[in-house]
Amino acid sequence: MWHYISRRLLLIIPTLLCILVVNFLIVQAAPGGPVDQAIARLQGFSGASVGGGGGEMAAHSAGASRSSRGLDPALIEEITKHYGFDKPMHERLWLMLKNYAQLDFGSSFFRGSTVTDLILQKLPVTISLGFWATFITYLVSIPLGIRKAIHNGSAFDMWTSTAIIVGYAMPAFLFAILLIVVFAGGSYLSWFPIQGLVSDNFDSLSFFGKIADYLWHMVLPVSALVIGGFATLTILTKNSFLNEISRQYVVTARAKGLTEKRVLYGHVLRNAMLLVVAGIPQALIEVFFAGSLLIETIFNLDGIGRMSYEAAVSRDYPVVFGTLFLFTLFGLLIKLIGDICYTLLDPRIDFSARNA
């Protein structure tokens, strides 16, 4: 097992390298690079409306296309050098990879801070959303899936299936807007805050007051984030249980006189949870990276998802690649942890033997 883990950890390095290189090459063809963004800001234009090349094109066409905009060519050359686009593409790529090998992600082009500091500032918001969304999803879905399997075909099974399918079909951003309209001072109630992770007077609150204020702010964004996650995990848990209940060892256990509770939770649960554990890495990745972007934007939460989106729009490449590196590394580590959890639940699984 340790041999398998060490090999997987070593494979993370070339995987990260390939992803960074491919995305670096793609970014070079993107219109409106950081040089164009900086010039547009000097001229009073919005960055999103800027055209032009993102990488090589930004460097080579600076003297011609931008001098016609009324700017001093020397200023354009200085801006180009400031953002590092005076160097050829392969040299910039090598410099980035060398710095990343030392965990130096550089500094943001437009935020006036290092990428590491920015990530550390935004990380608590994203972790809060991801942790509570994952915790609540598993807390509800696993017991619900087990109960649906035990009462398969009953009225309870039918109406809960209908409810979770409706929730799965509703987009998270649409449900978030609905929650705001109904519960956050829209057209009906004003029970919850509409934005932010804490209140303005958070520092003056007592210890328990801070906890209550934090949880109060998390209710709506977490609810919007988990609405679509119940269906997949609940149905997966139910089907896993139904599959295990029909196996011969369950019949044998019942024939020996074991109670139904002992059969279900002492034998079936452990084997049925293998498929559920298999879905944990994907669930975590979706919650942390896919779902958090829209929710952070709608509820004005200053997290990594929102920061990475704004960085992509403004062509803030150090932030883009820094968050990409973090997301990829986190995803690969989560998948490895999922494999390790397999062996903890079922010692018969031997990844080292499988890859021998």
Q: 218-234: per-residue pLDDT in tens? A: 888 888 888 877 787 88
Q: With contact defined as beta carbons under 8 Å apart, do 279 and 233 qualify?
A: yes
Average pLDDT of the chain is: 77
Q: How far apart are the C-alpha atoms of 110 and 38, rounded to whole Å?
A: 9
Q: What is the DSSP letter of 71?
A: -
Domain 116-350 bears CATH identifier 1.10.3720.10: yes
Q: Residues 174-181: what's their mean pLDDT?
A: 85
Q: How far apart are the C-alpha atoms of 175 and 177, rounded to whole Å?
A: 5
Residue 144 has pLDDT above 60, yes or no: yes
Determine the angle formed by the axes of helices 115-150 and 229-245, rounding to 10 degrees.
Answer: 40
List pLDDT tens digits, range 81-124.
767 777 778 888 888 888 888 888 888 887 878 888 888 888 88
Tokens of 320: 């883009």
List pLDDT tens digits, range 257-313.
777 777 777 777 777 777 677 666 666 666 666 566 778 888 888 888 888 888 887
Closest CA to 229 of 334, 335, 133, 132: 133
Confidence at residue 304, expressed as pLDDT on a 0 to 100 scale: 84
Confidence at residue 318, expressed as pLDDT on a 0 to 100 scale: 86
List pLDDT tens digits, range 183-216.
887 667 778 887 777 787 888 888 888 888 888 8
Confidence at residue 66, expressed as pLDDT on a 0 to 100 scale: 42
Q: How far apart are the C-alpha atoms of 114 and 107, rounded to whole Å?
A: 4
Residue 55 has pLDDT above 50, yes or no: no
Confidence at residue 346, expressed as pLDDT on a 0 to 100 scale: 65
Phi and psi at 130, nearest 5°, equal -65, -40
Q: How far apart are the C-alpha atoms of 271 and 146, rounded to whole Å?
A: 13
Q: How far apart are the C-alpha atoms of 104 and 123, rounded to whole Å?
A: 17
| pLDDT band (50, 70, 90) for residue 4 | confident
Confidence at residue 195, expressed as pLDDT on a 0 to 100 scale: 76
| pLDDT band (50, 70, 90) for residue 60 | very low
| pLDDT band (50, 70, 90) for residue 44 | low
Closest CA to 303 of 283, 289, 285, 314: 289
Return the domain boundaries, the chain.
2-112, 116-350
| pLDDT band (50, 70, 90) for residue 68 | very low
**In 10 A of CB 222, how many CB atoms?**
24
Confidence at residue 25, expressed as pLDDT on a 0 to 100 scale: 82
Confidence at residue 53, expressed as pLDDT on a 0 to 100 scale: 43
Percent of the chain topping pLDDT 70: 78
Q: With contact defined as beta carbons under 8 Å apart, do 313 and 48 qualify?
A: yes
| pLDDT band (50, 70, 90) for residue 339 | confident
Residue 154 has pLDDT above 80, yes or no: yes
Q: With contact defined as beta carbons under 8 Å apart, do 227 and 167 qualify?
A: yes
Radius of gyration (Cα) for the chain, nearest Å? 26
Phi and psi at 256, nearest 5°, equal -80, -5
Tokens of 132: 């509570």
| pLDDT band (50, 70, 90) for residue 32 | low
Percent of the chain topping pLDDT 90: 0
Residue 340 has pLDDT above 80, yes or no: no
- The count of C-alpha atoms lying within 13 angstroms of the C-alpha of 35, restricted to the half-sphere facing its C-beta, is 31
Q: With contact defined as beta carbons under 8 Å apart, do 300 and 125 qualify?
A: no
Minimum mean pLDDT range among 43-52, 62-71, 107-116, 274-283: 62-71
